[in-house]
Amino acid sequence: MLKTVLPYLLTGIAVGGQYALIAIGYTMVYGILRLINFAHGDVFMVAGILMVYIMASGLPLYISIPLVLLLTAAIGFVIERIAYKPLRSAPRMSIMISAIGVSYTLQNLVLYITGGLNKSYPKIPFISESVSIFGVNTKMVTLITPVLTIVLVVALVLLINKTKIGMAMRAVSKDFETSQLMGIKINNVISVTFIIGSVLAGVGSILYFTNYNTVIQTSGAMPGLKAFVAAVFGGIGSIPGAVVGAFIIGICENLIKGLDIILFKAGLTNTSYGLATFSDAFTFALLIIILIVKPTGLFGEKITDKV
């Protein structure tokens, strides 16, 4: 029984960690700008494509990984400056539409550059290697992801709670206008938020695509959406919430993928129901349920509208 469930569980934890790294970008941006950054999933995908091209150019690993992260950060920064900053005082719907426009643009750019073909992701030594635990074969990345995720999240939480810029971020997310009046340079804070979010998405993309092997222009859409759901599930604006939500979604999704086999092995059923189809749908069903039952998510704060 354990042998049946374990591979799905392990993949689930790993995918959960990767979602967590993307979800943090969503939750931080939402916390500050009240914007669903629809382009975030595509930034994640672009990081994957960058890795493909940079590794193909023959640069060594210790240069190419930092380079990818640097470029991803730059992309996040530029997107914010070009597409969101001019709309700061516009209605929220306009900014969201702009985000959708950016997502569309990034996907089309990558389509143009790659010719719309699946690009195979480079093998990264060590984390691409196979490993066996409890008799289950998996890649090293599966074990590294949760550890790395936790380390990065702890670092981020420290940054937010202990540093000056972190304090500014907390202030801006509490009250945009007041913190502006208090002399906080909100544009800098927002830029830093986008840069942090993008770098984490970049790290996530290295881990995620090492697991999935190929990148195409639409690769970012699904993980992006799921990471957003994770952020909502955990309580949007809350970093620990996003991480917990991401792990729950990653694990559930992968267990559903294996549900037919697990049920069969457990002797509960003899036929296949094709339930694996529902692994994606599950995430969204979960989203709708949480929004109805507890719209603030697991760790979210309640916001009341003033009349």
Partner 1 sequence: MMKNTRSGSYAQPQEKTVKLSTVLSALVILLVYAAVFVAEQTLPSTSILFTVLKKGATYALVAVSMNLLNGFTGLFSLGQAGFMLIGAYAYGILTIPVEQRMNVYQYYDGGIVQFALPVVPALIIAGLCAAAFAFLIGLPVLRLKSDYLAIATLGFAEIVRTIFQWDKLGFLTNGSNLLREYPTFNDFNIKGADGEVTLYLSTLVPFIIAGVCIALIVLLLRSSYGRAFMAIRDDEIAAEAMGINLAKHKQIAFCVSSFFAGIGGAMLAMYQNTVQAKAFTSAMTYEILLIVVIGGIGSVTGSCISSFLFVACSEWWLRFLDQKQMIGNFEVPLLRNGFRLVVFSIIIMIVVLFFRQGIMGTKELPDLFKPRRGGKKPKRSVKEKAEQAKENAKEALQAEEQITLTAAEAAETGAAVAAEAAGEEAASLKDKAEEAKEALKEALAQEAAAAAEAETVEGGEA
Q: Which residues bind partner 1 (CB under 8 A)?
A: 34-36, 82-83, 86-87, 90, 92-94, 96-98, 100-105, 107-109, 111-113, 115-116, 218, 221, 225, 228-229, 232, 273-274, 277-278, 280-281, 283-285, 287-288, 291-292, 295, 305, 307
**32 vs 102, beta carbon nearer partner 1:** 102
Q: Which residue, 179, 199, 224, 207, is CA-closest to 37? A: 224
Q: Which residue, 205, 186, 252, is CA-closest to 8? A: 252
Is the four-CA dihedral 62, 204, 55, 131 of positive or negative sign? positive
**66 vs 101, beta carbon nearer partner 1:** 101
Beta bridge partners of 130: 139
**50 vs 69, beta carbon nearer partner 1:** 50
The one-letter amino acid code at 92 reads: R
234: tokens are 């955990």
**33 vs 199, beta carbon nearer partner 1:** 33
Q: How far is the CB of 274 from partner 1 (least distance, A)?
A: 4
The torsion angles phi and psi of 139, rounded to 5 degrees, stand at: -90, 155
> CA-CA distances (angstroms) from residue 195 to 43, 55, 58, 101, 156?
11, 22, 26, 20, 12
Q: Which residue, 15, 36, 16, 25, is CA-closest to 239? A: 25
Q: How far is the CB of 195 from partner 1 (least distance, A)?
A: 21
**66 vs 116, beta carbon nearer partner 1:** 116
**146 vs 300, beta carbon nearer partner 1:** 300
Q: How far is the CB of 289 from partner 1 (least distance, A)?
A: 9
**2 vs 93, beta carbon nearer partner 1:** 93
Q: Which residue, 28, 16, 22, is CA-closest to 235? A: 28
Q: How far is the CB of 105 from partner 1 (least distance, A)?
A: 4
Cβ 20 vs Cβ 197: under 8 Å: no
**85 vs 123, beta carbon nearer partner 1:** 85
Q: How far is the CB of 252 from partner 1 (least distance, A)?
A: 15
Q: How far apart are the first and last CA of the chain?
A: 57
The torsion angles phi and psi of 137, rounded to 5 degrees, stand at: -85, 135
The one-letter amino acid code at 278 reads: F
Q: How far is the CB of 131 from partner 1 (least distance, A)?
A: 33
Ramachandran region of residue 149, left (φ > 0), alpha (ψ -120 to 50) or beta?
A: alpha
Cβ 262 vs Cβ 5: under 8 Å: yes
Cβ 28 vs Cβ 239: under 8 Å: yes
**181 vs 268, beta carbon nearer partner 1:** 268
Q: How far is the CB of 205 from partner 1 (least distance, A)?
A: 20
